[in-house]
Structure 1
């Protein structure tokens, strides 16, 4: 059997990250086992957005969202998603009965998940932008939030307003935190929890949900939140801090065009401004993500996105200055490592070789340690 380059990289990188993620997987399994014992429900609303966060949820890896929903993970129960517009579109009025049960307290306890921003009234004060049943989205949202044990804003639209709130919009789009206020608290005493990104990684949502479930059950304390109500365990570090191209930034070696393997600062990368763990974690199954795949960070996890970070392909910070001792080395480095053309796969050759070398080194180290244990 032959193993292609892409399959080899995916397999070895997944193996290298399994120890890092094993603890989080255990946490998620324990949380959904608590769901089974405690019968916690999910109500998912969709406001002004593109449904990209729902698509991202389908790509969860640790664990797979299908395993969670069907309850086939060892020790985990099936998760009851009582309302989700995307998967209930053909239900019509029947779908709204789930919301009515939640409003009457018949689904308690439940977590309210919001995807997409919440639009205000038209400028003239008449009409509406978004309805949920026969009521405005905001009216339904406020009523459901008042009975929820937690409100989770998934994606930058639900967190800050996002693209629907960008310059030129007349819809008055806002995020959940702005609508409810910083002093608002759920029935369990929790503030609005933001999981921003455009879209966020599906794993971010599942891990945040797991932490909230265990906090509600008293197994864990509530998650530590940063100044904009993001879980600190997910958004503690800047994308730049764990970027695989960060060493080129430190040496002021920048890509001049897409497809080159150097730092993408000059191509508009906002990694020094945005908090995101995708460069370290990868996007799906430990693979991919903006800088890992040759694209600049666009700052989508931060308040003010997209307006504060546009144009996406222009630098927003002053170029770093090199210590004098390194300045002479840069032209030589640029001559020795000529810009590489992007292959048909879309991945720079340099980046692939670096990943392959790292994976091979990790595999050899694993074999060496196994041999030592057998000899010991």
Structure 2
């Protein structure tokens, strides 16, 4: 496409996949005349295949149109493949057309430079063996290592792959299972599977439980069109969690554009599900969740969780789910972007009116008299000797 890289990245951030492709249809047609084939290997680790289902729910393009539009060759994807396995109709299947394990072996033996899409985490347990997930008689950990080292870039989609998500959540068996994300396990980069296996392939994380089809489709499209050069552009394009900043803006949260935001500013909160007011009291994590859900929307760009009546549970955040649970309980002492609500209230009362501090002001006003501080005095300018 003729547009430069910065314009392209800006466009994919503002537009959904369908509107982007409609807007630049003629440019895409010209680009396809010279667009080389991009090969894709899509592996599934420990997960629920929810991200594959999310991709299948993508509209205009759907996943088949995506492959055609960007000249992608999907070499392997367990959920979508027609291969049957070791036996077909009671007879051994000894070729790659029928046996997916043979197909994967052939791909890993001969192919290089493909985009590896990683869906799901990689078990390292028990005791570093990786045997808690076996694929074709081999630990998935070993299969993944081969695939990752032959790839040009890894695109980890969904929270299980990006940070191991629910697989690494605190439990009695989490250490035994030792599930790893690709570049991170929860918030720890030293426990990512690429670090453990000394894999140097660059990683792009598409967070979410599940990931939005636009986030995945447009990232793959940008790679196929060479609008994201790997690894040169990654430090500029990605945030510290290796997420594309265009979809996960560091300076923007779900809360900023939530249609319920006005109720928050007025200190009006729902205490039970089904209302129209702010969902903060029901545990909404929108103020801490960096994603464009509120402007991009889900389900064919129609709505998103708080709009549909559910509090945001912070599924795009690195430490999810441990860092955002309990999901439906208010984080009473914390406000927007990690600020203390009483501090916000103090600044708002003692200084200028802060819309985002309305809830905090309400909390301060409702405190018992003996619990209140003289906030106006505390934040007032220091008096001169004559004023004293």
1:158 has 2:156 as partner: no
| Equivalent residue runs for 1:1-376 within 5 Å | 20-21=15-16, 22-23=19-20, 30=28, 37-69=35-67, 71=68, 76=69, 78-88=71-81, 90-93=83-86, 94-104=99-109, 106-123=110-127, 128-168=131-171, 169=174, 170-177=176-183, 178-181=192-195, 185-186=200-201, 191-215=202-226, 221-222=233-234, 224-236=237-249, 237-318=252-333, 320=341, 323=348
Matched residues in 2 for 1:126 and 1:111: separation?
26
C-alpha displacement of 1:292: 1.4
Contact 2:37 2:71 in 1 (8 A): no
Contact 1:238 1:273 in 2 (8 A): yes
Contact 2:149 2:199 in 1 (8 A): no
Change in CA separation of 1:226 and 1:240 when aligned onto 2, cut-off 3 Å:
same
Structure 1 counterpart of 2:367: none
Matched residues in 2 for 1:127 and 1:176: separation?
14
Matched residues in 1 for 2:223 and 2:32: separation?
11
Change in CA separation of 1:283 and 1:126 when aligned onto 2, cut-off 3 Å:
closer
Which is further off, 48-57 or 299-308?
Answer: 299-308
Secondary structure, counterpart of 1:113 in structure 2: strand
Structure 2 gaps, min length 5: 1-13, 87-98, 184-191, 336-340, 360-388
Change in CA separation of 1:34 and 1:231 when aligned onto 2, cut-off 3 Å:
farther
Structure 1 gaps, min length 5: 1-18, 331-376
Greater gyration radius: 2
Secondary structure, counterpart of 1:240 in structure 2: helix
More helix by share: 1
Change in CA separation of 1:315 and 1:36 when aligned onto 2, cut-off 3 Å:
farther
C-alpha displacement of 1:36: 8.1
TM-score, normalising length from structure 2? 0.69
Change in CA separation of 1:67 and 1:256 when aligned onto 2, cut-off 3 Å:
same
C-alpha root-mean-square deviation of aligned residues, in Å? Answer: 3.3
**Residue-pair matches, total:** 302
TM-score, normalising length from structure 1? 0.71
Secondary structure, counterpart of 1:96 in structure 2: helix
Change in CA separation of 1:140 and 1:32 when aligned onto 2, cut-off 3 Å:
farther
